[in-house]
A and B are shown apart, each in its own frame.
Chain A
Amino acid sequence: MDNPNGATSSMGHSTTGARLQTTERLLLASLGLGLMALGTRGGNVRRLAFGGAGALAAVLAARGSNPVATAMKIQTDSSGETRVSDGVTIGKPAAELYAVWRKLENLPNLMRHLQEVKVLDDKRSHWTVKGPLGEVSWDAELTADEPGKRIAWQSVKGASIENGGEVLFRPAPGARGTEIVVRLHYRAPLGSTGAVVARALGEEPSQQLRDDLMRFKREQELGFHPTTEGQTSGRAAKQESQQKDRPQSQPGGSAAAQGGTR
């Protein structure tokens, strides 16, 4: 059924938590069996501990869901891809916002974890990302381009991290501007365990995406980013006594910016 709001994932996979991949399940199952075997010997406490842990691992392997990843709100689909999506409403027409995204070389300004996007031709581009374990790059291809409505892309075969995504632009009900929905998917190395490791290393794709969308909204609606960075506080006073040359305020400048009293 055609859903005008695109509420169902156009990528056709449901995501209700993180699934363990086949290799992860096999490893977990053999770990469980091993622990259970260790639990057949020794005293009662040892039997209970090893037997219990082994049984738990076996049950998890059989059920196929990764409770740690699910608790961390990591979503994977049945094919093992991690999925991240979010939306924001911006008070501007879709065509205008689409135009900003369509210039792929702008994307590193919009999505801060991107290092660089080089446009190679009409369809192809080269993407570089700073990941938790260093720089990764790949070639991507536009798979859909509907002006004012949707842009979709997919890494080409042989990419070190298989990934893709789409951005939807749709008019918000009422005179509220445009709803932007971003859906990203990638195959984390080592399946859902890899996603957990990446998250533990401080990479939170869903949070990054949220921050990116809010930054974009503020750029479009305000033209600047609200900030408290550099404001005075009881902390600043202590820092200032340690460093004599205080940086001047950026715009305007003022007598006060030199730390003078009024």
Chain B
Amino acid sequence: MKAVIWQGTNKIGVETVPDPTLLLPTDAIVKISSTAICGSDLHLLDGRIPSMEKGDILGHEFMGEVVEVGRDVKKLKVGDRVVVPFNLACGVCDPCKRGFFSACDNSNPNHRMAEALYGGVSGGGLFGYSHIYGGYAGGQAQYVRVPFADVGPFKIESDLRDEQVLFLTDIFPTGYQAAEQCGIMAGRDVVAVFGAGPVGQFAARSAQMLGAAQVIVIDRVPERLQMAEAAGAMTINYEKEDVLTALREATGGRGPDHVIDAVGMEAHGHGPGALLDEVQVKARISFDRITALRWAIMSCAKGGTVSMPGVYGGLIDKLPMGAAFAKGLIFRMGQTHTHRYLGPLLSRIEAGEIDPSFVITHRATLDQAPELYKTFRDKHDGCIKVVLNPWG
């Protein structure tokens, strides 16, 4: 089969590899009908996520048809049409039972790598996302092996198009969880979203669905800001205005009640803090450039929430903790508990509350993936979200 392969930093290729096989009786094989490139794949492209190995198959947003099931798989059968969460969860450990699926105790076979980095505990495995997260082959391919087949894959029984349900695998639940964990008071709260990439777009629309009185989106890319405006959000271009001043003005000096940092570790920005980050990252004593997080904390209203769907990797310093303390902020963060949201969000799609396909700007074949990774990274050609057809 054809698959998108990580060949080294800034080297992505399409290769012919053997078809996946069942490795455990709880596995299924899915023939992929649609797959996407995620913003977090760009951290892999530029080599910022450690423990990638040459030859790894990329991709964690995919859906398709079940073509084979292991003998212990009970809920899925051949022919089922499924979306597959980007994270793997066992469904039986304590974190899974409490709904913290991304913190699954049991799904990462390389737990010792993550434990060494992250304080003696490992999160669950991820598809196509480095060996710290299990080293599972990803879904930018024609077929994929899906472990824990009775836990992750979610059946789509309506006739919704792939493009309407594909993003249930990651960016829609990720944006939704970011908004949900703000605890928005409907009709009252103002929510600011830093970063208008795909997750930021879904966070903004989710905040609206949850009743935010106003949503303000901050970015620098005109196409992204336009997409947010189309949904009725107010926008700020941080390259043209001072963000903190603009947010104070927009909120009558209070600041947004909740702030979502949909940027994470590779924030652009300016000022002394951004310069310090840049120097530390270049010197390899830090992974994270945190301008967006600093702005989030500095702008947030008293008693507000800083919700962080954006990914951070390591140790952070020069974080305005005094401001966070003075304002009594709540911090919510972490990998998405995707499994929790599949059913409820599918219902919202079916009810016509949202059509997630709004975010797609580029459609291509698998063979064009290497080129589109770069188009997406460089934000050329108005690129916001890429969907690939493995059979085109």
Give the interface of A toward B (CB within 8 A). 89, 91, 176-177, 207, 210-211, 214, 217-218, 221-222, 224-238, 240, 246, 249-252, 254, 256-257, 259-262
Is A252 in contact with B70, judged by CB distance below 8 angstroms? yes
Task: Determine the distance from Cα of A233 to Cα of B107 in the docked complex, in whole angstroms.
Answer: 19
Contacts of A237 in B (CB 8 A): 15-18, 55
What does DSSP make chain A's interface, helix, strand, loop or mixed? loop
Question: Please, what's the 1-or-0 string for B95-110, where 1 marks a CB less than 8 Å from any CB in chain A?
Answer: 0010000000111110
Is B19 in contact with A261, judged by CB distance below 8 angstroms? yes
Confirm or deny: B115 has a beta carbon within 8 angstroms of a beta carbon on chain A: yes
Contacts of B3 in A (CB 8 A): 232, 234
Q: Told that A222-B90, A228-B23 touch, could you supply 20 new A-B pairs with CB distance under 8 A?
A: A89-B94, A91-B97, A211-B112, A221-B105, A226-B90, A226-B147, A228-B136, A231-B20, A232-B18, A233-B17, A234-B57, A235-B54, A250-B23, A251-B25, A251-B70, A252-B25, A254-B21, A262-B31, A262-B142, A262-B143
Q: Which one of B56, B90, B92, B109 contacts A234 once the chains associate, using CB atoms below 8 Å?
A: B56
Contacts of A235 in B (CB 8 A): 53-55
Contacts of A257 in B (CB 8 A): 21-22
Confirm or deny: B1 has a beta carbon within 8 angstroms of a beta carbon on chain A: yes
Contacts of B70 in A (CB 8 A): 251-252
Number of interface residues of B (CB under 8 A): 53
Given the known interface contacts A91-B93, A207-B112, the answer about A232 and B71 at a Cβ–Cβ threshold of 8 Å is no
Is A221 in contact with B107, judged by CB distance below 8 angstroms? no
Contacts of A221 in B (CB 8 A): 90, 92-93, 105-106
* CB within 8 Å: A-B pair count: 137
Is B19 in contact with A230, judged by CB distance below 8 angstroms? no
Contacts of A260 in B (CB 8 A): 19
Q: Which one of B22, B94, B135 contacts A249 once the chains associate, using CB atoms below 8 Å?
A: B22
Is B68 in contact with A234, judged by CB distance below 8 angstroms? no
B312-344: which have CB < 8 Å to A? none
Q: Which one of A91, A210, A231, A246 contacts B94 once the chains associate, using CB atoms below 8 Å?
A: A91
Task: List 5 tightest A-B contacts by C-beta distance, closest first.
Answer: A234-B55, A235-B55, A249-B21, A256-B19, A234-B5
Confirm or deny: B369 has a beta carbon within 8 angstroms of a beta carbon on chain A: no
Q: Which one of A217, A228, A231, A234 contacts B7 once the chains associate, using CB atoms below 8 Å?
A: A234
Nearest residue (CB) in A for B135 is A228
Contacts of A226 in B (CB 8 A): 24, 88, 90, 106-109, 125, 134, 147-148
Q: With both chains docked as a complex, state the minimum distance between the C-beta of B13 and any C-beta of chain A, in angstroms.
A: 8
Given the known interface contacts A226-B147, A256-B19, A261-B19, the answer about A231 and B137 at a Cβ–Cβ threshold of 8 Å is yes
Task: Determine the distance from Cα of A217 to Cα of B26 in the docked complex, in whole angstroms.
Answer: 18
Nearest residue (CB) in A for B20 is A232
